[in-house]
Amino acid sequence: MRAWADINLDNLIYNLNIIKEFAGSKKIMCVIKADGYGMGAVECARILSENGVENFGVACYEEGYELYKAGIKGEILLLGATPFENIADAVKCGFQITISSFEQIDFLRRNNLHPEVHIKVDTGMGRLGFSHEEALKAIKIIRDENIADIVGVYSHLSVADMPEKDQFTLDQIEKFKVFEKMESIKYKHILNSSGLLRFADATESNLVRVGIILHGVVPFESELQKKFKPVFSFKTKIIFLNKITEKTYVSYGNTETAEPGDLIATMAVGYADGFVREFSNGGIVEIDGVGCRVIGKICMDMTMIKIPEELKDKVQVGTEVTIIGKDILKKAECIGTIPYEIMIGLGRRVARFYIKNGKVLKFKSLQESEAKEFQKG
Q: From CA 68, how far away is CA 72, in angstroms rounded?
A: 6
Q: Are strands 284-287 and 263-267 parallel, antiparallel or unpaired?
A: unpaired
Return the amino acid letter for 7. I
CA dist list (Å): 231 to 26, 44, 141, 328, 356: 24, 11, 44, 11, 11
- The phi, psi pair for 272, rounded to 5°, reads -70, -20
Whole-number Å distance between alpha carbons of 21 and 284: 35
- Distance (Å, whole) CA 323 – CA 88: 43
Among 73, 252, 314, 372, which one carries the catalytic annotation? 252
* 328: phi then psi, degrees, rounded to nearest 5: -60, -40
Give φ, ψ of 207 to 5 degrees: -145, 140
* 271 catalytic per annotation: no
Catalytic residue of the set 26, 33, 237, 331: 33
- What is the identity of the amino acid at 4? W
**Distance between first and last Cα of the chain:** 7
364 has catalytic annotation: no
Q: How far apart are CA 271 and CA 195, in angstroms?
A: 32
According to DSSP, the residues that pair with 291 across neighbouring strands are: 286
Rounded-to-integer distance, Cα 358 and Cα 8, Å = 8
- Determine whether the annotation assigns residue 302 to a binding site: no
DSSP 270-316: -GGGT--GGGTTT-EEEETTEEEEE-S---SS-EEEEPPGGGTTT--
Binding residues for substrate: 127, 300
| Residues that are catalytic | 33, 252
Binding residues: 127, 300
